[in-house]
């Protein structure tokens, strides 16, 4: 019984310590300190800041996507030019087989 209690205390204490130093533990501690209440104004300000940050990130992603699309179009044009240059020219008019030397 003492062995099980020692194991529980060791792992439980270690888990509690890791939780305490993690961001989740800090958030829980802040909530306990503030009595579990966050003012409405602070909450709205946080949501607005988060929304602005997400909109900025979305705009950056859209700009990067536009650049990638331009690069893809350029690459496709280069490949098309390379394929056209590699083709043999089409013969014009009737062609005659070469004469055999008899």
Specify the pLDDT at position 35.
72
Q: Where are the domains of the chain?
A: 1-37, 38-85
Question: What pLDDT is attached to residue 90?
Answer: 63
* Cα–Cα distance measured from residue 79 to residue 73, given in angstroms and rounded to the nearest whole number: 10
Angstrom distance (rounded) from CA 57 to CA 51: 10
Residues 40-80 pLDDT 10s: 777 788 889 889 999 999 999 999 999 999 999 999 999 99
How far, in whole angstroms, is CA 76 from its chain's centroid? 25
């Amino acid at each position: 019984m003492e062995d099980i209690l020692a194991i529980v205390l060791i792992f439980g204490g270690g888990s509690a310590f890791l939780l305490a130093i993690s961001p989740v533990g800090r958030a829980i501690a802040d909530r306990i300190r503030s009595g579990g209440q966050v003012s409405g104004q602070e909450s709205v300000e946080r949501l607005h800041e988060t929304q602005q940050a997400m909109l900025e990130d979305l705009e950056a992603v859209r700009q990067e996507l536009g650049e990638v699309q331009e690069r893809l179009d350029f690459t496709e044009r280069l490949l098309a030019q390379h394929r056209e240059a590699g083709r043999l020219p089409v013969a014009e008019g009737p062609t005659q087989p070469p004469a055999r030397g008899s």
